[in-house]
Structure 1
Amino acid sequence: MNDFLAPAANLMLLLFVVSALLGTGLSLTLRQILEPLRSIRLVISSLAASFLLVPLIAVVLTRIHPLERPLRIGLILLSMTAGSEGLPKITGIVKGNTAYAVGLMCMQLVVSLVYVLSLISVLLPEVSVDHVKLATKLVVLVFLPLATGLLLKARRESAAVRLEHWLHKVSMFSLFLMFALFIAANYSAVLAILHFEAVLTVIVYLALSFIVGYLLGGPNPGTRTALAVGSLLRSGSIAMVVASQAFDDPRVIVMIISIFILMLPVLPVMIWVFRPRGSA
């Protein structure tokens, strides 16, 4: 049974990554991406939160509360990959600055590609990675779909709108199916991961990531909310591509999936705690 589940899960992973990033590109224009990033101070603070402080939080927490090797790799790897495709939509739902969230997401995605390739051996020194092979996979599975979507949006906007609608459905379907297949294929690993120390470490990591983004988001409440959400959320697409290509242990991907599951209750709680005073 596992001989079917594992390959099917990997296939759904590839389908999710390509459809999600192609759909993201189809929904954006260069002006939407660049306009919110005109503030140099905000760009610097956003990069500091996304690529300095959040990974540092993950590294420090795994030193304070040592996790099993694949769980530690999964947490640190996810902390390195900023740029969730759902950031603009979630920011809009919680009444944050959606325009800034769009620019932030795209900046995070592009920087994450370079960041992971450059620093994975620094933050995970015990891991041996074929950088050329990994770079090729990231370019093909992440950069090309995103760039293709942006190009099609610029050249054929009406077709891009129709295609983006269907790709959103494909990406959501493949995401849920991928989660189910990975969990079914690695059921015992999921149960092993969900012990108190691991869950507590992940919850503290998520909470501190949100707080870091909130504190560095500047004086505007909408921007603070967007960076806080963008610091807590990570790019599952990039993290799982790297995990599937660079690590043989399926528990790395299972850990990443488990973190996303724990995000579901943590994010609403953090948004409520840090809501502007006077809000309902």
Structure 2
Amino acid sequence: MTETLMILLKVSVVALIACVGAGTSPSELTYLWRRPGLLLRSLAAMYLLVPLFAFGLVLIIPIERGVKAAMLVLAVSAGAPLLPKRLKKLNSQEYIFSLLITSSLVAIVAVPLWTALLGAYFDVTVELSESKVLSDIAKTILLPIMIGMGLRAIFPVWSERLSDRVITIAGVVLAASGIILLVIHREHLVGLTWQGVLALVGLLVFALFIGQLLGGPNRDDRTALAIACATRHVGVALIVATEFVGVRTVVLVVAYFVTAFIVSSIYLTWRRR
């Protein structure tokens, strides 16, 4: 059952990312690249400041090995694959699409580097080669994006209509699979210490804050970056988490994403007022 749920989670993410690609134009793709200041702040928030804060929490708070591994997974899993669906009502679509593509490209270099350095430093067993990370990210993120963009170029009207339906279905499957996984392995959540809960909640709150701080003068851009920092990259996280020994890391990572989804939804509602 667990293996089936993991497959459903990954397939849902791939489908969502492909649909995002189907709604992306070349001008949206390069939006951030034409704004180096915003680009650097966004990448610094997602790939540097949030990871460093997570590592700091691991050093300061005495937490168990499973939570430590989950924190490491979340720290290295920067990105924003689900932003376009969640933030459709914001007036920052070009920024959101460009952030998705750019963060996925950066992940190819950043994820193997962070995982290799910090897996050894925090004494967390990671049976993960750089070539495997590169291959998995290319197959689950970049290839679906390219396929989606290709379909948009060939069948613009048809691909847009189909992508909206697939996004809805994939979103439901993703949420249902995650919740069922948590129910099946609820013993891993019941045994959490208050230090572990504090560390995971602290990471979520700080990520929202740093994204809000560095998102620039545009209110919607700040909201988008805050949610991107907090929710992390579910596709990358699942790739990395499945390589850790034991199912506990995967369960804790999924629990974080469910919590982050709820908290960021409340935050988004507040920001839209």
TM-score (norm 2): 0.88
State yes or no: 1:85 paired with 2:81: yes
The residue aligned with 2:227 is: 229
CA distance in 2, matches of 1:18, 1:267: 22
Counterpart of 1:112 (choices 107, 110, 115) is: 107
Give the gaps of 5 or more residues in structure 2.
none
Regions of 4+ moved over 4 Å: 268-273
What value does the CA root-mean-square deviation take over the aligned residues?
Answer: 2.2
Structure 1 residue 120: Cα displacement = 0.8
The letter of the residue matching 2:51 is P
Post-superposition CA distance 1:234-270 (Å, at most 9, x none): 11111112212x2231111111111112214432555
Hey, what's the Cα distance between the residues in 1 that align with 2:9 and 2:258? 16
Are 1:19 and 1:170, in contact at CA under 8 Å, matched by a contact in 2?
A: no
1:177 and 2:176 matched: yes
2:78 and 2:233 in contact (8 A); partners too:
yes
Q: Which residue of 2 aligns with 1:250?
A: 247
Work out whether residues 18 and 147 of structure 2, in 8 Å CA contact, stay in contact via their aligned partners in 1. Answer: yes
Task: Tell me the CA shift for residue 40 of structure 1.
Answer: 0.8
Partner residue in 1 for 2:42: 46
Cα 1:163–1:55 shift into 2, 3 Å: same
State the secondary structure of the residue aligned to 1:124: helix
1:155 and 2:151 aligned:
no
Q: Deviations over 1:8-66 (max 9, x none)?
A: 21221232122122112112112122134411111111111110001001100111113
Total equivalences in the alignment: 269
AA aligned opposite 1:211? F
Counterpart Cα distance in 2 of 1:98 and 1:139: 24
Describe how 1:206-217 pairs up with structure 2 within 5 A.
Answer: 206-217=204-215
Rounded Cα–Cα distance in structure 2 between residues aligned with 1:90 and 1:113: 24
Q: Percent identity?
A: 25
Q: Which residue of 2 aligns with 1:140?
A: 139
| Residues 182, 255 of structure 2: 8 Å contact kept | no
Query: Are residues 271 and 136 of structure 1, via their aligned partners in 2, closer, same or farther at CA, if it must alter by over 3 Å?
Result: closer
Other-structure match for 2:92: 97
What secondary structure sits across from 1:44 in the alignment? helix
Relative to structure 1, the CA distance from residue 132 to residue 264 in structure 2 (aligned partners, 3 Å threshold; closer, same or farther) is: closer
8 Å Cα contact 2:79-2:103 kept in structure 1:
yes
Contact 2:5 2:177 in 1 (8 A): yes
Cα deviation code 1:154-213 (max 9, x no counterpart)? 2221231233133213312321232133223312112223x4222221221111111111
User: 5+ residue gaps in structure 1?
Assistant: none
CA distance in 1, matches of 2:79, 2:204: 15
Contact 1:207–1:266 (Cα < 8 Å) also in 2? no
Q: Distance in 2 between matches of 1:118 and 1:107?
A: 17
Q: Match for residue 28 of structure 2?
A: 32
Alignment partners' CA distance in 1, 2:29 and 2:19: 15
Cα distance in 2 for partners of 1:220, 1:172 equals 28
